[in-house]
Every structure is written in C-alpha cells, then in structure tokens.
Structure 1
C-alpha cells in the first residue's frame, strides 16, 4: 500500500507544480471534503464469501477501506476501482474513508450481510414517481439478502438486471402506458436466489376516465351561450353514476357546446377511441366531438356522431385512430346540434358521463361476452340465476369483478358464472386474470347450469399479484347450450378480483395453423425430440408465458439438439412457417419441414437469432416429399448458446 501513497503524492506535486506556473493556488483551498460517499457490495454466489467492494463519492480520488471482520489496518483503492475481500458468514460494518484531492476526508460505515442461504421473506415496494407518472421507484427487503437485481420488464428477454443494494431505491422510466411485469431477484452469498414479480401499471396523467362524481366541476365549461354544470343523474337505469355533466343550450342558438381541459396531454399511443355516455330526453340529434391542441386551436381533429336520444343512456364511440401522434391534444370540445327550432321538442338538455379512452382492438373474450367487464356486470350472474348480476368495481378506468369473502363455507356459496354453449367432449381453454389481498384459492372451470351439474374444474391459487391463469379443460361426457363458465370462491376468506376472462375452443387464442399447441401454453405436448413420440421437449414458464427453451453447451451435429412436431405435409404444396426465437448470444438454428423417417427429405433454412425476441417467417416448398406423419423441424445442436422458441405457426398457401 505504500507504493500507492507515493504515487498519489507525486501526482499531487505534479498537479500543484503546474498550477504554480499560473501563480494561483486558491482553487485548492476551495475544494470541499468528498460528499455522497457510498459503496457497492457484490457477493459471489458460490458460497466462497468473496465480496467485491466498489466505493464511490463526489470529490474523492481514493478510498481507505476497513473490512470490519478483524483484518488489521485498511486497504486503499482509487476512484472507479474495486477491492476483493473474503468473508465468513456474518454481519459486518465496513468503513469507507473517502480522501479528496486536498487530503480532506469523509468516512461512512455501511452494513454488509454475508450469508450462504437463499434469501427469505422477500418484499418489494414500488411507487410511481410523483413528478413523472412513467417513472417507477423500487426498493426491496429480504432476510439474508446481500443485494438485489431488478428487471423492470420481464417481456424483454435481453434486459440485464439493474443492481440494487440493501436499503437502496432504483428508478426506471417506461416508454409508454401499459402493464409491465417487474421482477426482483434477491441475492446472497450462496448459489440459490429468491425472486418475486409485481405488475406495474403505467397510466397517462390525464383525468381519465372523467367521472363527474369526483371531477372538478370548475373545469366543465359551457360556451356559445350554453351552460354547463354537474348535477344529479336524471336516470340511473343504464348508468349508475350519482353525478353527471349537464349541458343546456343558450337562446337563440340551436346548439350547445362544452370544453374540458385535461391536466396533461392525452396519450393516444395505445388507446385512440374516446368513449362517453350520453343521455337526452330529445329524439336524436348530432354530436360533434373535437380534440384540440392546448395552445393552437388550428391543431385539431373533429368527428360527427348521430345520437339516438329518447331518454336512454347510450354509449358513443369516437374513433381517433387517424390521429397525428406528433401533436399533443389537451382539450376535449363537443357540440350538440338540437336541430331546427320549432321541431316540437321542448327540452334543450343533454347529459354526459364516463368520458374515457379505449383500444381500437377490443379484448378477445372468445366464446364469452363482456369478458373484460367494461360493460359492467352484463352477462355475468351469481350461480345460475339470470336475474342476479354480479358486483363489479371500477378502478383507474378499469372495470373488474370483485368480492370479499368474510366467512368460509361451501365453494359455491360465493360464485360468478356466465352461461355459454359447451360441446360435449371438446377441449376448451379458460384464461383469466385474478388477484387477492391474501394467498388463497378459488375453483375455476366449465360445467352444466343444472342437474346433474357435471363440470371440469381446477383449484387455482391466487395471490396479491395480478396474474394471468390458463386452464385446459375437457367437457368429458357433458355439454349444453346453457352450460357455463364457473368461478366458485366461498371456501376461503379473502378478497377475489377477476378480470379479462376468455374461453376458447381448443388450445387457446393463438392461431397455430395446422399445428397444435404452437404457443406452448398447454405445456410440451405434442412437441417431441427427434421423431420419438414418447420424448417430450422441455418448456419453461416465465411471467405467465410458456415457451420452449434449450441451452446448447457443446457444439455438434445440428440434429443433436432438436424439437419437432409431427404434422401432415402434402407434396407439392408451399407452406409458411412462422415463429418467435431469441437467445443469450448471436447464433444460428435450422428450421423447416421434412419427413420423420427415411429418406429424411426436407425443406429447411438457417436462421440467425439474437438476444432480441424476433418473429421469423419462412416460405417452404414440399417439392418432392409429403407424408401424414411429416414434421416441423428445429435443429439447434451445431452452435453453443441458449435457444428459446415460441408462437410457432404452420399454414399452407
């Protein structure tokens, strides 16, 4: 360590000598002691106790580290460099002395926990930043954890985890609105880790949906002689809101107008349809709806909709999919055209409510209706009583089913169902989101809505984390036009929330063409290794998505590592093979179609894959081969590296 001190001294002399040429050394006196002193601990996950210590600060040129384990003296390290030191299991107080250019020092003490057991009781704390709704701040605690890795979007296979120290908070800014699955991995000095995921919802900061029960009525402004105010709802049949917006035209105009200025520009990047509920005692009329730039009224898009009227709430959808996303829009402006004065109508009033954004691509609920509950409780009932609608709630613009079970009893004591046609002996896929305020189970499935009450159900364990569940169900021996989807929740106490329910005939919504289980959501079957029908491939499930994964450790023949599915190939036809693939490196795989026996004729291509998940499309001609038991081929053994494959589809042209 003496050599390091001498080098530092020489550096100081040289620096000061240069400064003396300018005859001004006053800047040295102005240098303050280092600030923001910290240290990053990185513990090897191999039970060795080896810890890499990287100090940092504002204003230090070197650091003196006292390890806190009884080692005599201290060791020094330059700014930007690290020290390695081996510890036994235990808790240590590591001292970091930061030394500035002028010799002023700042010392901190930081706790280091070295444990070889897997972390326990991992808890994540996430918070949307108050200054920016797209930034999330994350911290975590866990027993025996030495540090953490944070993955902010598990759908990105190329993301490298962000290191986070115990007691530290890390932040990340998302590119747009949506739901993101965040994962925190707790690390100790041992080889085993503990991880936990949480869904982060990033939403636009504007006041959407506009609910007049909580909306600032001072921002609801009439113009052109029209009045605008927040009043009691004149008709709760079709809209349960207690308060709504009321617009009355001003004489002698035949139209009434209103403007709402939102708190921030509306984000149309993922949702571009504006929805609102309208009620009027008048027959018909027209609504002109305009979105407008806050500072320049010439930047606007205007749409016209014909209303039904006649004293009933109606949902109006205005499509702004042609919007110019390079502009910002912060004003909602609308005009109600009352027609010609003297048409016999005596009421010049319109009511509006529930102004919101929705996607142009509606939720795919398959065989069901209103699977996302955005139409309230429609089609969802308690038990088999068509006149007993379930209870739903709306939170941050999203509507879903919610119930709180306070006393445990029979599973069917608390129930939600939807009647749907079920065909005997067919296979169905039931997909839904569910979460609770505790760890508990529910029963989900399909079955009859009357005697003999035949059903196919599964027990599903739900947690406080909103999770997507997928069940494969066979209607063995039963079927009926008025069968039902079943959710029985009465056997355990705790909240149950359910959303985005879909029922599909077969193995799910993914179109795998002439293949089966192309998205692997039903597991491995019928994907096999080589041509052995009894050798199913390995799949993994990450954040609710299942896909094929293999790690090639040794390069050999391409077919040494293989995935296939037998399928009928007709000679002379051209086929399109589509799949997603990614790796942990840049490497190639062989993909195509071919025979599953001699003479092994095939049509394949070499495909270069990368760490970025990418969709590949191959056009393949079965020019000189065909068979009922031909196959789709993925050969991966020629190069080392991980291969992940998902969403495989084969169609004939």
Structure 2
C-alpha cells in the first residue's frame, strides 16, 4: 500500500518568493499539491542490483528519491529524468518525493524488490475491454519480480511497454484483430520469465455524442428511472442479473466525457429493479421515454412488470449508429391488460438475442403538464413550482430568492405573488437568480420583454439574461449561447415596468431555443443588503 505524506521545502519556497517582483501577485495557497505520484522502477538484469527510477506525476517541478536502504537521498532532478541506485539483494521501501511550484512536496512509498532469482510463478491476466473499442489490459504478477514488459505485437510497434510488478498496462490497437502478446517478467537476475498468448482486439462501437437533453419539467410531471436531468427513483438496481451473465451479457456505466449512460453488452434480456424491490405507480403518467444508441441491434423490446408478477412488451425499431428517442404510450401496456399502479421492474430484450450492445439514457415516465413554466410569467399559479435558484453570495453560494406575497400592491402591480431576490451585504456584483423554462420562448410573440420591477433605489442596473441551457459550456460551466439586455430603474420603493429590447442585445438570435431566464438586480454593484421584487415577465411587440 502506498502512503502519502506532505512536507514543505523552505528552500524552494524562498526561491519562488525571491523571483517575484513587486508587481507579481502569487497565490501560493491556491496552488495544488503534486498528485498522482508514482515511479516506474526497473532493474538491470546483470546481477549488479542497479535499479532505475522514472517518476511521474501531476503538478511537479522536480523529484528526488529516498532509496530506503540508509544511503543518502538523490539530488533533485527534473520531470522526465531518471536516477539509478545500486542495491544489495533485498526488499526496500523507497520514497518518491515530488515538489510543486509553491515548494510543497508529496511523498509516495515505492516498494523495491531486488532479487537475483529469476521471476517465479508468473501469473498473467489479459482482459479485453467490453466498453472501449480495441483496448486490451494486461496485469502480470510474479514472485521475485520487480517489473515486467509487454510486447503487444502490433506491426510498427516493436517497443515494449513497462509496468511495475502487479500493476496493469492498457493498450489500444489501431485495428481490430488477433495479436500475439509477449510478457517478459524481470528481476535483478540475468534470467527472465516469459508468457505468450494470442488475444483478439474487438471492435466496440459507442456513441460519440450525448443523447438529446430532456426538456425542463415540473417534478410532479415526471418519474425518472435513469438520467441526469431529473431526480431518479432511489434504490434502483440497473443490473440485478436474472441470469444474463451466464449468457455472456454484462453491463457497465459508460462515461462519455462526463456524461454517463447505461451500457448493456451482448444484450439478451436485461432487468432493471426499481425502488429497492418495491414498486412505483405510473398510472398517472402518459409515456415511457428512453434514448437508445446501438451499432448492431435491430429492435429493442421493453416490458413493464407489475407486482404479481405480470408483464407486457412493446417492441420498437432502432436506427444503427445514432440515438433513437423512444416514447411509448402507457396505453400501449394497459391496452394489453397490464395494470401499471405497482411497477417494480423493467425488462429490455435485444434483437438479435445476445448479439448486440446498447447504450441507454434518459429513462423516465412523464405526462403533459396542465400548466407550464413559460413566458409570460406572473407567478400566480398554485399548481406550478417556480424553482428559482440564486447565486453569487459573498462565498459564491446561493443568495435568497423565493416567490412571495406582493409586499406593495400599488401603482402598476396589484397582483398577489411576486419574486423576491435579496442581495445580501457583500454579495457579488453578478449575484442574481435563474429559472428554467419548460417551453422555449416563441419570438413570434415579440422581441421585447417587459418586467415589473420594485427597486429600493433609482439608478439600479437590471440585467435580463436568457440562455440555451443545453449549449456547450464555457470554462466556468455556463452555457455559451445566451444574450444579455439592460434597463435602469428610475424610481425607488415603487413598482415600475422596465422594457428590454432584445434586438439590441449582442448575440441575440430568434432561432435560438432559449430556455432559461436570469435576473441580476443592481448589476455591477456589490450587495448592500437590499431586496428587489420582480413580476409579470412578458413579451410584447
């Protein structure tokens, strides 16, 4: 087991501070410690006991080695460099010391085995990755061994890849096919121990884009089984294994650049057990939705299983190498005599049987909303949850925001409910609140937005922003498709209607599907503990 320790190099810290001029602003505390420290440790096969260390890690400016045999530590050397040391036969606990930019170091223990016996009891495990195309992983372990080399047998790649004894090496071939792998296990002895095997690098196709993002919905209008958009039913088991493993079927959670999805491999039939084996009532829902990607399945059969058990299937065609969005009416199950008030399992069956792989995302039941969060917004409906989210407090946390009773039924606003946004003392200049719309804005109804605003002061800049929440994110995680429009309050402690001409906003485009409203009270100014109210967000011509 590797143990991590932390030390501070005052020498490196002094040099760093000494190099800073008067105009520099160095945040030493903000610099991350070196991490993921390890070292490839190899030994010369000549009975000399010469061991070479090749350290690697992240955020490292230099390394040194404590050899663990009582001798002096090495000098510091740069990343990518190596250092060698002569050991007597034995087992040693060396330390890899990695220094970061701010002078702080991370230490990692590294066991060094120096034996003049050839490796014995060589065990090699070769795994063909079921999710990543043409990827093979090798793990070799032997008594008396320090490291091993793997020749993967691909044309034009004659050099081996090395790893410490007991660690894994992964390799992705350029082409699918059959290859001869040779594993050479080495100790300090002249003699080595080898293992040879043929492996098949298989072609596993997978999606390169995410499934379509589901629309914003009220919590009461959706029951989610799997996906990142909505809150999923707790306790769901996505691979209860009803015997599929015996047919060669398996599953994993495929990660596409941070977007996770279910991956069922050699799909015969696959069960999904809901809510810790209890049941859910979907009789109030209208559709079952899922997004499916496959390279080799022709159809997928979906069954709902009610307590009893009783089940009924619905089969849908799939289009190869692209996402197929499936919406099955609940009536397609109930018309077959299935009761859907106690659904405790779902079942997926592939055609051909156990002959293909599927990626599945966004499994949920839903119904059409009687009322939706969309423009115009007046906040009067008791059937809708207006899920505003505040942001930009002094600690970058949320600021208070809520739908409340109108505190001042006067002038231009006699309605009952309004949105209250507090901007606490010290809140960020960009503090505000956002609301996801369930229906995107229709600009045939106008490209001007009017908002009733109650401000505690005149001259407050009110920023109105809209985003396409599904657009690519910037470095801060914010959508890159948006527009911003400004208006300024002219009265204090009273309601007034502000007008935002969207056509003057940089980046505005009526073709964009804007689905998020964001309000910034007193934009550009730090919070002073003031409260702002907003109401009647609507379009006009």
Please report the TM-score for the alignment, with normalisation by the length of structure 1: 0.31
Higher relative contact order (CA 8 A, sep 6+): 2
